[in-house]
Amino acid sequence: MKQIINPIHFLVIVSFVFFGTFANAQNAAPTITHLYAHIDKELYSPDEFIWFKIYAYNGFSLDTNLQNINVDFYSPDKKLIDHQIYLSYLSSAYGFFKIPKNYPYSILTMVVYKNQLNTSQPYYFQKEIYVLNSSAKKWSPTNDTNRMASVKNTNINSSKIAVTKEAGFVSVNVDNADFQIKGLTFQILSATDTIFNNHYVLSSKKKLALKIPSNLLEDGFYQFIITNDDNQILFNQYIFNNTYKYLATPTLNLDTLSVESGGINVWNIKSLPLANVSVSVIDADIPSSNSNIASELLFNSFINQKISNLSSYFTDTSLSTIQQFDAFIQNQNILPHYAPLFDTKNSYLSINGKVLVKKGIFKKTQLPPFVNVVIGAPNKKINLYQALVKPDSSFSVSNLLFFDTVYARGVLNGSHYFKEDYEVTIDTNFTNQIKDLKINNSLPAYYFDHMIGSKVNKIKTESLQLDSLLKLTTLKDAVVKSDPTYKLNKLDAMYASGLFDGGNAYRLNVEDDPFFEGTFDLGNYITASVPGITYDPNYFSKDAAGGFSSFNPGDEAYKSPFTWRGQKTSIYLDEVKVDYDFVRDLPKTSIGYIKVFRPIFFGEPFGGGGGAVSIYTKKFSDKSESYSHNTENTMIKGYHTSKSLEDITDENEYIFKNSGTTLYWNPMVITSKNGDTPFEIRFKNNHFTKAYKLRIEGVDVNGQLLFFEKVIHP
């Protein structure tokens, strides 16, 4: 937060206008991550995909410290339908969720949060998504809406004090008609800082007028406090300042605007700052709410209270709209919510478990040193991790990185440590605290007014017909050809998963490479096999005995001697990011596969500009008898990866191109540094759309929120 330097101070005050500049606060305010999800549209049908882009915003910029983002979908009866975890990339994540075909309700609630969901804190994002279901079950939620306590304004000695909005200003007026106030102190407080603090002497004048240029304050809530010389509160009020800096004003060039069935539309958009944005184009008849990235992050995120009737305050700069909104805040007693931070740890996936004894009790000295935690996926060999067993019989494996649903089981390392029967339990570390989440099933009538009619019936009819046609489609005869990369493909399928599967990478079959068997330095082998990557053999410092024991001082975390295009190349061992120390002395007989990703590597959560080296150890057989003692598999959902809208439409060409109301969805648009360089939107029209609704949301490089929506008619 920023601080205003005290302006020129007049002893005798008739009218006072704020002048000044900003300076950094003395103590850095703690950053609070606010989350927001841009979804492609507001209304869906059962068996349809919801596309979303999630932004992590700390009040000043995109939050680069966030790793994991959780997304849950609930029905109105608070039943969890799906739980997803995404690895943050460029301070955001994107994915999709398919509504169940027989979903019986008209509301689907989306909840986005960082770690464990805690509904007593404001740092989660909740959105009600409407499902077109005329036969939806009626759900009557309990009335658990809690209104925040109001601030009582005090008016001592009949002095009249008012704070009002004017064009470009916030005006503070004190009418000291009774001439009883000798002096007063005026303060402006933000969530963490004192923005302004000044004392005024009212010796011979009966009025004080202050004008604060609104553009000198950041967007958000401020507390205005006026006290007399006895420290009695004369005035205490919260003001929401809105500078409209987030309003995007792009230039649209509609190179091609087609309303013909299957016609291609080509649009160019420019005049946007350098930003991370998401773009959607939908049928203009789909209704939309007044919520957007500005209203959700600048308002609802700070009050821990969902306000849906925000009108057009966040897009209409007229003075009347601003005054109406301020009156709404005062009438509803809406106050900002500054709760203390809860658990903000960022970590990759982890597995926790316990060793349970069926007969007898283990003494601490009888506990085994570690357990083998076996993680695998269907039709693939497994990874083996070792975890120390704590004195309370618990263990944990952290910093896991996998993108598929896998099974996990734990086995004690050698049952000869004890004779008693035992079992190893594994917890996926996901607990659901949903009791205080406010979910309602009220569906505004205008949604049905817009959608239920001949158009919707036609869409449903066409979808059924096209689905029937797809079932009658026969596949062409397959032609099998020899593939020189067969062995590499087999190794990739055996070892790589998620973002490590496929990709722009060099693949090294070390088992069949005689040069690998004869090499003494893993780094030299990689640079000899992969053009472009460089390796510094002197990257390590020698200890007193002459051995290589540590990295040179000043190097960053996750040390790596590799570089590519001038940037550090990350090191992964079995898809877990590690220092090079973990792999440089691995026995060659334990390495089964090496994969070197060219820059940019998208599995790297904070960059990947130098690519990545992924080293895989040889796998143990899934059917090994040594792991069969009293163990059961626990299914664990890993990170989710998202297909694009184009991927889905390719798989379901007829259905989506003809009956889908989302025509374009691009969650990963990074605009150019040059605002005159356009980014292109290209999409096919469906059978029925005659007008389009374009929506752009995101955060620019300066931390300003961007929002733009326009209905485009031919």
What long-range pairs does 487-494 form, CB within 8 A, spacing at least 24?
487/512, 491/592, 491/593, 492/593, 492/595, 493/380, 494/380, 494/381, 494/593, 494/619
CA dist., res. 202 & res. 208, Å (int):
8
Q: Average of pLDDT values for 102-124?
A: 81
264 vs 463: which has the higher pLDDT: 264
Contact 352, 426 (CB under 8 A): yes
Q: Is the pTM of this model over 0.85?
A: no
Tens digits of residue pLDDT in 190-217:
877 788 899 888 766 677 888 888 888 8
pLDDT band, residue 331 (cuts 50/70/90): confident
Contact 283, 692 (CB under 8 A): yes
Fold of 2-29+155-231: Immunoglobulin-like (2.60.40)
Q: What does the domain layout of the chain look like in residue ranges? A: 2-29+155-231, 349-433+631-636, 486-617
For residue 658 the two structure tokens come to 């003809």
- CB neighbours of residue 116 within 10 Å: 13
Q: How far is CA 204 from CA 178, 183, 200, 207, 559, in A?
A: 12, 11, 12, 9, 70
For residue 627, the model assigns a pLDDT of: 41
**Up-side HSE of residue 32: CA atoms within 13 Å toward CB?**
21
For residue 139 the two structure tokens come to 């759900």
pLDDT band, residue 38 (cuts 50/70/90): very high
120 three-state secondary structure? coil
416 three-state secondary structure? helix
Answer whether residue 548 shows pLDDT above 60: no
DSSP 263: -
524 vs 448: which has the higher pLDDT: 524
Going along 522-574, which residue ranges are E strands? Answer: 534-535, 540-542, 548-551, 562-564, 567-568, 570-573
For residue 566, the model assigns a pLDDT of: 81
Q: Give the H or E element holding residue 77.
A: none
> CA angle, 632 as apex, 626 and 638 as ends, to 5°?
105
9 vs 53: which has the higher pLDDT: 53
CA dist., res. 132 & res. 60, Å (int):
37
User: Fold identical between 2-29+155-231 and 349-433+631-636?
Assistant: yes
The winner for highest mean pLDDT among 145-149, 435-439, 628-632 is 435-439
pLDDT band, residue 114 (cuts 50/70/90): confident
For residue 696, the model assigns a pLDDT of: 96
- Runs of H (alpha helix) within 392-521: 445-451, 454-472, 486-495, 514-518
For residue 636, the model assigns a pLDDT of: 81
DSSP 296: I
440 three-state secondary structure? coil
Q: How far is CA 607 from CA 4, 89, 500, 504, 671, in A?
A: 36, 8, 15, 16, 17
The neighbouring-strand residues paired with 16 are 210
Fold of 349-433+631-636: Immunoglobulin-like (2.60.40)
Backbone angles phi, psi at 6, to 5 degrees: -55, 135
Cα torsion angle, 48, 603, 593, 564, sign = positive
The winner for highest mean pLDDT among 30-39, 292-301, 598-607, 662-671 is 662-671
CA dist., res. 359 & res. 357, Å (int):
6
- In sequence order, what DSSP letters do the residues of 668-694 get, joined into one string? EEE--SSTTS-EEEEEE--SS--SEEE
| CA 413 to chain centroid | 39
CA dist., res. 711 & res. 689, Å (int):
12
609 vs 361: which has the higher pLDDT: 609
> CA angle, 368 as apex, 365 and 374 as ends, to 5°?
160
The amino acid present at 623, given as its one-letter code, is K
Q: Average of pLDDT values for 520-544?
A: 77
For residue 613 the two structure tokens come to 């080296």
pLDDT band, residue 298 (cuts 50/70/90): confident
For residue 667, the model assigns a pLDDT of: 92
Fold of 486-617: Ferric Hydroxamate Uptake Protein; Chain A, domain 1 (2.170.130)
Tens digits of residue pLDDT in 252-297:
999 999 888 888 999 999 999 899 999 999 999 888 777 889 888 8
pLDDT band, residue 479 (cuts 50/70/90): low
